[in-house]
Amino acid sequence: MTRIHPTSIIDPSARIADGVIVGPWCVVGAESVIGEGTELRSHVIVGPNTTLGRQNVVHPFAVVGGDPQDMKYRGEKTWLEMGDRNQVREHASIHRGTGSGGGRTKIGSENLIMAVAHVAHDCVIGNGVVLANNVMLAGHVHVEDFAGIGGAAGVHHFGRVGTCAFVGAMARCSKDVPPYMIVEGNPAEVRGHNHIAMKRRGYTDEDVDAMKEAYKQLFRDKGGSMLDKVAALRSRYGRSRPVQTLCDMVLEAGAGVNGRALEVHRTDDKRASRVATATRAPLHPGGAAGRP
């Protein structure tokens, strides 16, 4: 049975499924959808055009589907989509997408987003991800399945965190984080392979051992080019899907088709925005914008 506290405000266009619990002083925006069994504990803000799947729990003072913090955003209709069984803890903020970034922020299922974590516009979060307290994801970040990010770590615009990777607390990730690796520091650097996550996810001992060798060859050995190292790993571990995934991401980052290499598009958008602002007619003739 759906229960909505009388102090909460639900937009008439919002759709509330069976079994939803909306606690006191919550707000649900226009055209939002709250899935079956989801609970908004209290003082939760669900922005417009936000879809929450089934059995999510959103804790007090969280903002889910808020307006993006982006100077290019001009009020265009954008969305946030969240899957099932996510935990969003106190004061966390998850923002909708932007028109220039595809318009959609996406959160998968069974994620834990801890207190005061921030997921910015146009991010894509997979399944089984853990974002610890105060994690900061800038716009367009992609976090793949089963990755973990430690407290107060920050990931730069367009950064990519690979599957089963772990980012240490307070790390500054200015580069992509390879899958199955552990990164720490400022700036973050690869420190080892995440054998614990691999074992928890059921990878074989052979895959874990192969990843250990891949870590050594790619990130510890100083001689040889990255292309040669990847080719050698592909040949030696052709049957190890995790090693092939690691090699794929290393090559994609170098080729500029994923991750931080896409920053150039944001730079182009900012330049176009500045030009448009500089050439825009003044709102009030004779005001500061109209002076020679």
52 belongs to a structural domain: yes
- Percent residues over pLDDT 70 in the chain: 89
Q: Is 145 a domain residue?
A: yes
Question: Is 174 inside a domain boundary?
Answer: yes
- Residues 6 or more apart in contact with residue 7 via CB below 8 angstroms: 24, 25
Residue 111 pLDDT level (bands cut at 50, 70, 90): very high
Tell me, yes or no, if 139 is annotated catalytic.
Answer: yes
Tell whether 82 is covered by a domain.
yes
Do 163 and 179 contact (CB within 8 A), yes or no?
A: yes
Structure tokens at 176: 């992509």
What's the whole-number mean pLDDT along residues 28-52?
98
Please tell me which residue in 91, 95, 121, 142 is annotated as part of the active site: 121
Please give the average per-residue pLDDT across 5-29, as a whole number.
98
Strands 118-119 and 93-95: parallel
Identity at 72, one-letter amino acid code: K
Does 292 reside within a domain?
no
Give mean pLDDT, residues 97-105: 95
The predicted structure's pLDDT at residue 276: 39
Give the mean model confidence (pLDDT) for residues 8-33: 98
For residue 83, being part of any structural domain is answered with yes
> Of all helices (H) and strands (E), which one includes residue 134?
none
**pLDDT score of 280 more than 60:** no
Q: What is the number of helices (H) and of strands (E) in the chain?
A: 5, 28
The reply to whether the predicted model has a pTM over 0.75 is yes
- DSSP SS3 for 248: helix
Three-state DSSP state, 60? coil
Q: Please report, as a single letter, which amino acid is at residue 175.
A: K
User: Is residue 26 predicted with pLDDT exceeding 60?
Assistant: yes
Rounded Cα gap, residues 174 and 216, in angstroms: 22
Query: Residue 269's pLDDT is what?
Result: 55
Q: Tell me, what amino acid is at 25?
A: W
Asked whether residue 132 carries a pLDDT value surpassing 80, the answer given is yes
What CATH number is associated with residue 110?
2.160.10.10
Q: Dig out the tokens for 199 from the structure.
A: 């074992």
Confidence of residue 94 (pLDDT cuts 50, 70, 90): very high
Specify if 204 maps to a domain: no
Residue 46 banded pLDDT, cuts 50, 70, 90: very high
Strand (E) or helix (H) holding 164: none
The gap between the terminal CA atoms of the chain, to the nearest Å, is 65
122 assigned to active site: yes
Residue 9 contacts residue 28 (beta carbons within 8 Å) = yes
| Whole-number pLDDT of residue 268 | 55
Task: State the residue range of the domain holding 174.
Answer: 3-194
**Candidate from 175-189, 199-213, 261-275 with smallest mean pLDDT:** 261-275
Rounded distance between C-alpha atoms, residue 276 and residue 292, angstroms: 18
Q: Where are the beta strands (DSSP E) in 213-276?
A: none
Report pLDDT for 27: 98
Cα-flanking dihedrals φ and ψ of residue 28, to 5°?
A: -120, 120
Q: For the chain, how many structural domains are there in total? A: 1
- Active-site residue, from 122, 145, 176, 207: 122
CA–CA dist 135, 119 (Å, integer): 8
Q: In a 10 Å sphere around its CB, with 0-12 CB exposed, 13-18 middle and 19+ buried, how is residue 200 labelled?
A: exposed
Mean pLDDT value across residues 112-138:
98
Q: Do the domain assignments include residue 218?
A: no
Q: Does the annotation count 11 as an active-site position?
A: no
Q: What is the pLDDT of residue 226?
A: 93
Could you say which of 139, 150, 159, 259 is catalytic? 139
**CA dist 82 to 77, 95, 173, 242, 281, Å?**
17, 11, 25, 27, 40
Give residue 288's pLDDT.
36
